Amino acid sequence: MFFRSVDQRPDSWALPWLAVLAVALCASACGANKPERSMIVTVAAYNSVPSQTDSQPSVAAWGDHLEPGMKVVAVSRDLLAEGLTRGSSLRIEGLDGEFVVLDKTAARFKRRVDVYMGVDVERAKQFGIRQLRIYWSE
């Protein structure tokens, strides 16, 4: 028990331990204890155009509506099992910022991430296909 009576302060040894406990709980709740994972994958780019998707090019695999300027990626189905599920954030080596997983690639692809580039087909072609490291926390 930390208090001797209602009118007395905590024992001097208790305050530091309470502070350590509070920091540990906060770190755990904030996700600070989650290890960052990484993997080298094939990274390409895609657009919201019927020739690359289907008759509803702005609707992603889980039903999310995509708009140019969004920092979104599609992941291959094998990466779902690695923790890159809908709404996950990831970083891509050499690209600025974080991307959100809101789409899936075609089933034939493995270890692949496609970066969404709106309707700018030329920009997607210039990006090409690269082998890059991705980073995420589960």
* Mean pLDDT in residue range 93-109: 97
Q: What is the CATH number of domain 37-137?
A: 2.40.40.10
Mean pLDDT to the nearest integer, 96-114: 97
Instruction: Provide the pLDDT confidence category of residue 56 given band limits of 50, 70 and 90.
Output: confident
CB neighbours of residue 127 within 10 Å:
17
The residues spanned by each domain of the chain are 1-33, 37-137
Rounded Cα distance between 76 and 104, Å, is 6
pLDDT digits (tens, 9 = 90+) for 78-99: 999 999 999 999 999 999 999 9
| pLDDT at residue 3 tops 50 | no
Mean pLDDT to the nearest integer, 25-43:
75
Across 43-47, 50-54, 126-130, least confident range: 50-54
pTM: 0.74
**Is pLDDT at 125 greater than 70 in this prediction?**
yes
Average pLDDT score, the chain: 85
Question: pLDDT over 70 for what percent of the chain?
Answer: 76
Cα maximum dimension of the chain: 75
